Amino acid sequence: MSQAVGPRRRSMVRRAVGTRSMVWRADGVMLVAVLALSVVGTLLVWSSTRTWTPGAPAGMVKKHVLNLVIGWVLCGVTALAGPRTLRAYAPVVYGVSLLGLLAVITPLGSTINGSHSWILLGGGFAVQPSELAKPALILMLGTLLAEPVPGTDRPRPLDLVLGLAAAGIAMGLVMLQPDFGTTMVLAVITAAAMIFAGLRKRYVAGLGVLALAGAAAVWLLGLLKPYQVARFTAFLDPANDPRGAGYNSTQSLIAIGSGEIFGKGLFHGGQTTGRFVPEQHTDFIFTVAGEEFGFLGAITVVALLGVVLLRGLRIARQCEDRFGALVAGGVICWFAFQVFINIGMTIGIMPITGVPLPFVSYGGTATFANMIAIGVLQALHVRTRSF
Amino acid sequence: MNRVRARLVVLQFVVLSLVAALGVRLWQVQVVRGPEFAVAATETRTRDVIVPAVRGPILDAAGRPLVRNRTALVVSVDRAELERMRDGGARVLGRLAAVLGRPARELRQRIRPCGPRVTRPCWPGSLYSPIPIDDRVTPRQALQILERQEDFPGVLAEVQAVRDYPLGSGAAQTLGYLQPVTEEELKKRSTLKANFSGVDLVGRDGLEYVYDEALRGAPGLRRVQVDRMGKVLGVERQTASEPGAILITNMDAGVQRVVDQALAHAMKNAPKADGAAAVVLDVKTGGVIALGSMPTYDPAIWAGGIAEKDYRRLLSEKAGLPLVSRATHGQYAPGSTFKISSVSAMIRDGYPLRGKYDCPGAYDVAGGVFHNFHGIGMGVIDLHTALVKSCDTVFYRAAYEMWRRDGGLTPVRHPKEPMTATARAFGFGRRTGIDLPGEVPGRVPGRGWKKEMWAATKDLACHRARTGYPEVEKTNPGRASYLKRLAHENCVEGFEWKAAEAANLSIGQGDVLVTPLQLAVAYAALVGDGRLRSPRIAKALVSPDGTRVQEIKAPVVGRLPVDRETRDYIRAALSEVTSDGTAAGAFGGFPMNVVKIGGKTGTAEVYGKEDTSWFASFAPAGDPRFVVVVTISQGGQGAMAAAPAAREIYEGIYGIKGTAALPGGRPVERLPKIRRDGTVVR
């Protein structure tokens, strides 16, 4: 930003730090909660990865911190952009994310840890377009469904069809990877958008039946990989196959349960040190919290996540326009779903699905997507308050 | 916007209840069931590694090692880990075979679990403990394995203590050997289970078996943290192992060596001899100074898994069952050495000690003519001469007279049976109780024994009396008809104690069987204080730092039924056997001025075999300190085989021809001193 910018347009920096800036009017409670979760996540990632490379115990955690910094910057940029810009660029964002998803299923895509959902950028960096598809779809659906049938608060039928199409394309591409967990998140996001857009209850029920039928079809037609079926049945009875599919579930329960009330202390969790829980720095990061910080620490993490969700809901309710409410509601449903599925699977009340824990799990693209979503919420918050 | 807000409120409730559900479930998992998961975590996260205790050595009375430990680099294989591999560990075993320079087939055999139809080598121990493959690995080989652990998963190379036997094959059966513990043994011995490390060995025979618990010590425990792949991350807790106690025996390595040599010579000189045993007892204490048995073997073959060939030899009849100690497991008719019991029976029954007895060349016992040895009569002699010259007819007459006084074939209500009763009082027919496993009791026949035998065998005998022996008849009709007559006799009158049997017993023939050890104990009682002692090999158990000493004494288990005068009379008579009696030839030229030897020869007839050669002796004759009993199975006459062996033993003990094994003829009485670091002061 040069000083040559005319007086009609104030510089980004000025806008960012000025008295009317969103920085002063942001939802501080939510940001503090997210920051706290970032710090806790950093410690947990550190603890779970420090034994990987004996020479450099902080290798992974350094990358995680870098991801967080980028994520917070993205959050700030998104918040500063404001709702109108977001709405205006929603189709572009959605289109770019679709291109990303398409790229994954071309030879550009790579398989990491058994999931074919990556694009390698070189230099040890990689992006996971399916993570970015989550906020993109939310923005796209918000934009499409923002205008109601005039005089009512029901969605216009054409918008509905377009919205379902947009969701369907994204979900289909993710299914091709295949990424069962992200597909479910996208389904939840779509359902949330439909519901908040004011779809009649009977249609909501109809969509629900459709979803169930789809799930049944997937199951009956054998579209799921055997390991996915095994994970689901292992959730129902982990003791059935403790070394195979039930292993994750059993080990994760042992790690969390053995933390008892006060935990074993950071870096002192034997299960974590011994790497008994697979994918512990990503999908099973919560087990580190459970083992090393105990019930008190784990419940604190849950409470922090609860604060983020409730503050987000508050923003959604305070939105003056349908776009804002739809987007904020979508983001909250997304986060709530992932939080419940992720923590639920580690404590044995949900089947094991590859879904990371927002703000805590290691993972660059997921962190960026989460922080962009927080930025979106903040933008909406600022917007509400500015009226 | 109202509808949207309403639906957001519903979402808020949903979110709140989901968060609450997570909280409740966390409470349940971490607080309510936390301790349960904590236990499960400890189980998955830690492995208990047992640190075997160093087994205590076995020393002789002077502190010289009979069994000691040598440290060896041992390569062992974790069978469970190999089995988890896709090819059953074949590649790893192949590499290991190349490093050790041994055929892979042999390695595969060694780690097979033993069982029916599985020939040695095989693994008799627990399937969950590492199986030793080779205990003579060079440091170079061990390094090759340790440095390339990724090529050798499931293969361990570590320093272990391995049993070492300085005497070689000497006293092998007495010392015993070690083997991996079997599941059955674990079940049977509860104390073993408590102290058992899962990897160490258990004493399977001899002293190693009897004093196993003391020798074993207490294993230590190291609880290590492991990761998911079983890699050790660190030590969580450690208790040191406690070495086993030191077993000090009454044995003397020097005397043992002399005994083994004497037996080997005797076996060589008696071409048909198929076994030999020698016992050297300390008359004063009942301690066992040496215990020899031939054929023998080197117990070192057990270490690190026994080879098929060696194992088969140990168990083969043809090789003479080298595992079996003939001193405690060999039962032979004692022949004339038994006469110490017969003379005592006569005195007890009222025959005058200093009377005169007729010694004809033959004596008629109830219609059967019993001859003296070589059929030579000696006229009227005293008991002294009867013993020195070994006159049989004196004893035939006494036995026959006793038999008749008991009612003959129609016994009185309470027959006195002086010969049988006295033999039992001398300790025959029951185990001496020595601290060795599996001793046999021998046999003293009599009227009661006959009845029991008949009750047990009459059905078979009566059956054979009817059917005969058709299978024998084909090849040997004469023998078949003899056997049929015998069966008929056994069937009809097998319960009768016949005069001939009574006569045979009196000279140690017929059904009477004794072990060399029993005879030695009886002689020790006779020439000592008249008390029967249960002999002991062990003298003391000393804690590894030498501070605590538990002495082991041979307990008195009986008293001979004859007074001192009689005992002295018999001893005086036996003292002349080596100069004027049956052993005079064997002891020709022996310096009796240095030490006078007393003894009794025995020549026991065995159907279809050479005679069993016996010599039961003691020294010094005036105040005996040692009893030496030698048996050569199929060795011929006592004077020809056993007596020369006994002479060789005495020469070794007293140093007649070289250095004395026990200078001055005195066994080591004071316990060797053990320093705090476990070394022996000599």
Cβ of residue A275 closer than 8 Å to a chain B Cβ: yes
Terminal CA-to-CA distance of chain A, rounded, Å?
28
CATH number of the structural domain B253-328+513-537+555-665: 3.40.710.10
Residues B298-339 pLDDT 10s: 888 887 667 777 888 888 877 788 888 999 999 999 999 999
Considering only CB atoms, which chain B residues are within 8 Å of A192? 11
Put simply, the answer to whether B11 touches A259 (Cβ < 8 Å) is: no
Q: What is the pLDDT of residue B3?
A: 83
- How does B503-524 read in b/e, with b if 16+ C-beta sit within 10 Å? bbbbbbbbebbbbbbbbbbbbb
Residue type, B64: R
Using CA atoms of B216, B217, B223, B227 in order, give the dihedral in degrees to the nearest 10: -20
Instruction: Put residue B231 in one of left, alpha, beta given phi > 0 → left and psi -120 to 50 → alpha.
Output: beta
In chain A, which residue's Cα lies nearest the Cα of B22?
A344
Q: Which residue has the tokens 């073997």?
A: B297
CATH 3.40.710 fits B335-506, yes or no: yes
Q: Is residue A22 part of a domain?
A: no
> CA end-to-end span of chain B, whole Å?
104
- Tell whether A14 is covered by a domain: no
User: pTM of the predicted model, to two decimals?
Assistant: 0.67
Domain annotation covers residue A20: no
HSE, CB side, 13 Å, CA atoms: give it for residue A386: 15
Per-residue model confidence (pLDDT) at position A244:
60
Domain coverage including residue A331 = 28-386
Q: To 10 degrees, what angle do helices A285-318 and B2-26 make?
A: 160
- pLDDT tens digit string along A258-310? 999 999 988 888 888 878 888 888 889 999 999 999 999 999 999 999 999 99
Number of domains in chain A: 1
Tell me if chain B has a CB within 8 Å of the CB of A276: yes
Q: What is the pLDDT of residue B651?
A: 92
Q: Which residue has the tokens 């073993």?
A: B192
Quote the percentage of chain B above a pLDDT of 70.
95
Nearest one of A322, A338, A327, A336 to A155, comparing CA atoms: A322
Distance separating alpha carbons of residues B542 and B116, to the nearest angstrom: 41
Mind telling me how many Å the CA of A313 is from chain B's nearest CA?
7
**Residue A88 pLDDT:** 93
**Whether A317 and B8 lie within 8 Å, measured CB to CB:** yes
Q: Tell me the per-residue pLDDT of A14-44, one tens digit each, with 9 for 90 and over.
A: 666 665 666 667 888 999 999 999 999 999 9
Report CA-CA distances (Å) from A365 to A69, A91, A130, A361, B408: 12, 20, 9, 11, 112
Domain assignment present for residue A109? The answer is: yes
Question: Would you tell me how many other CB atoms lie within 10 Å of the CB of residue B195?
Answer: 16
Token couple for B123? 């693994």
Who has greater pLDDT, A98 or B154? A98
pLDDT of residue A5: 46
Contact criterion met (CB < 8 Å) for B45 and A274: yes
Q: Taking CB atoms and an 8 Å cutoff, what residues of chain B touch A52?
A: none
**A 199-258 residues inside an 8 A Cβ radius of B:** 251, 253-258
Residue B106 has pLDDT above 90, yes or no: no
Do B15 and A313 lie within an 8 Å CB cutoff?
A: yes
A339 contact residues in B (CB cutoff 8 A): 18-19, 22
Neighboring chain B residues of A262 at a CB cutoff of 8 Å: none
The stretch B234-261 carries a mean pLDDT of: 87
- Quick check: is A12 in a domain? no
Tell me how far apart the alpha carbons of residues B605 and A261 are, in angstroms, rounded to a whole number.
85
- Cβ of residue A309 closer than 8 Å to a chain B Cβ: yes
**Chain A residue closest to B33 (CA)?**
A257
Candidates B15, B5, B62, B29; CA nearest to B681 is B62
CA-to-CA distance for B96 and B87, rounded, in angstroms? 15
What band does B473 get if pLDDT is binned at 50, 70 and 90? confident
